[in-house]
């Protein structure tokens, strides 16, 4: 039994590391394209982009670790089942319950590590990443902005830019929102951002365009002004300002900070379903590794198929189901439907229950 446990544990470890490498590489590759675009096309400092990459790793691991656990279980136990090794074990009196104990313990250890990851490492990296992005936005506003979308990062202005090439802009439309006057419109063929040092603002130089200017006799009416060059100073919205205090989002708080925030709001008789849901979500998703061990063993034996492609498809189906249940639980929790904790732990309960039932039926069949 000891040799058999060591053999299975070794196979699971190799499959887990292989799956972790594949999943992490796949997710990293997708994000590397965006990060490379910041350096190549938008002129962002490579050191700042490197920071964003490092801050991204904990976020990816929070997903790829449980995904890799599930894939490893399906691959190894699917192969054992298809080679009739499970049948041979049972014929020789091997207790499958005892055989899976080391794997359950391993899943529990990974879940405990995930609690640390989701409580300490991930919130700090997410918060640091947001501060880095804001810092990039102040130093290089064009890198923060997306072409072809309505940009609302500047106070009292909405901007639409057709093309952005580093600091050079093409097809610029600016809408100035005014409470007591109609919206003012400025259109320019070209433009560029000019960074203002130590200020929460940027200067925009516009070339070859028209602007709505208020009529001195009647400010509610505008007349068109053609210009060759037009300078406009834009105040950065709080969402892009890096100076001063930055309020943490629930995902950027650890357990202690969430509890403190709930307590503060409670003193003012304010319910905080989002904070309560986030607290329990961090715990629930941390135990995804343990839950995936349980259902992975069961499905691996139950399917009796050894093909890696089929095993990955099954793993993807379970992962999608799990996160759909998590998203549904979060949506219900945010509406304040009680008990909030139950909705967040429901995905773990459902997936684990399915795994236990399948395993018992397989063992007793």
Could you please report the per-residue DSSP string of 72-140? HHHHHHHHHHHTTHHHHHHHTT--HHHHTHHHHHHHHHHHHHHHHIIIIIHHHHHHHHHHHHHHHHHH-
Average pLDDT on 89-107 reads 81
Q: How many CB atoms lie within 10 A of CB 357?
A: 12
C-alpha–C-alpha distance, residues 257 and 155, integer Å: 30
pLDDT tens-digit readout, 140-198? 655 556 677 777 777 778 888 888 776 788 888 888 877 777 778 888 999 887 766 65
Q: Could you read off the pLDDT of 226-279 as tens digits, one per residue?
A: 889 988 887 765 544 444 446 677 888 899 989 888 888 887 776 788 889 999
Is the bond into 339 cis (omega within 30 degrees of 0)?
yes
Q: What are the sequence ranges of the domains in the chain?
A: 2-138+248-364, 156-235
CB 206 within 8 A of CB 225: no
Q: Distance between the two ends of the chain, CA-based, in angstroms? A: 22
What pLDDT shows up at residue 136? 66
Local confidence band at 200 (pLDDT 50, 70, 90 cut-offs): low
What is the pTM assigned to this prediction?
A: 0.71
**What percentage of the chain exceeds 70 in pLDDT?**
83
Q: What is the mean pLDDT of residues 51-67?
A: 89
What whole-number distance in Å separates Cα of residue 43 and Cα of residue 122?
Answer: 28
**Residue found by looking up tokens 């995905």 in the block:** 347
- Residue 171, class by beta-carbon neighbours within 10 Å (0-12 exposed, 13-18 middle, 19+ buried)? middle
Higher-confidence residue of 38 and 360: namely 360
Give, in order, the Cα–Cα distances in Å from 283 to each of 8, 61, 139, 275. 28, 15, 37, 13
Q: What is the C-alpha separation between 233 and 127, in angstroms, rounded?
A: 29
- In DSSP notation, 146-168 reads -TTSEEEEETTEEEEEEEEETTE
Q: Which two tokens stand for residue 193?
A: 């951002």
């Amino acid at each position: 039994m000891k040799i058999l446990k060591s053999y299975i544990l070794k196979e699971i470890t190799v499959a887990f590391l292989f799956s972790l490498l594949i999943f992490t590489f796949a997710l990293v590759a997708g994000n590397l394209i965006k990060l490379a675009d910041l350096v190549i096309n938008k002129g962002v400092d490579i050191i700042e982009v490197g920071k964003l990459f490092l801050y991204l790793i904990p976020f990816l691991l929070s997903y790829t670790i449980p995904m890799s656990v599930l894939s490893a279980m399906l691959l190894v136990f699917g192969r054992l089942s298809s080679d009739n090794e499970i049948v041979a074990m049972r014929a020789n009196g091997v207790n499958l319950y005892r055989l899976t104990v080391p794997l359950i313990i391993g899943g529990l250890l990974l879940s405990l590590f995930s609690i640390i990851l989701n409580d300490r490492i991930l919130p700090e990296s997410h918060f640091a990443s947001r501060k880095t992005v804001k810092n990039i936005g102040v130093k290089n506003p064009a890198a923060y902005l997306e072409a072809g979308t309505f940009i609302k990062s500047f106070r009292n202005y909405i901007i639409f830019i057709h093309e952005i090439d580093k600091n050079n802009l093409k097809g610029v439309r600016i809408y100035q929102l005014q409470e007591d006057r109609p919206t003012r419109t400025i259109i320019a063929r070209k433009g560029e951002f000019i960074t203002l040092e130590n200020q929460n603002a940027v200067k925009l130089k516009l070339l070859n365009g028209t602007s709505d200017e208020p009529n001195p006799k009647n400010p509610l009416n505008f007349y068109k002004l053609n210009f060759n060059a037009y300078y406009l100073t834009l105040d950065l919205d709080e969402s892009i300002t890096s100076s001063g205090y930055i309020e943490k989002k629930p995902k950027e708080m650890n357990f202690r900070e969430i509890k403190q925030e709930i307590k503060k709001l409670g003193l003012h008789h304010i319910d905080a379903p989002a904070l309560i849901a986030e607290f329990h979500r961090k715990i629930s998703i941390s135990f995804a590794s343990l839950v995936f061990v349980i259902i992975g063993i069961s499905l691996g034996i139950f399917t009796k198929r050894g093909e890696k492609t089929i095993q990955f498809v099954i793993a993807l189906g379970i992962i999608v189901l799990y996160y759909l249940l998590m998203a549904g639980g979060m949506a219900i929790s945010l509406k304040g439907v009680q008990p909030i904790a139950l909705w967040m732990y429901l995905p773990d309960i459902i997936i684990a229950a399915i795994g236990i039932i399948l395993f018992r039926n397989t063992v007793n069949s």
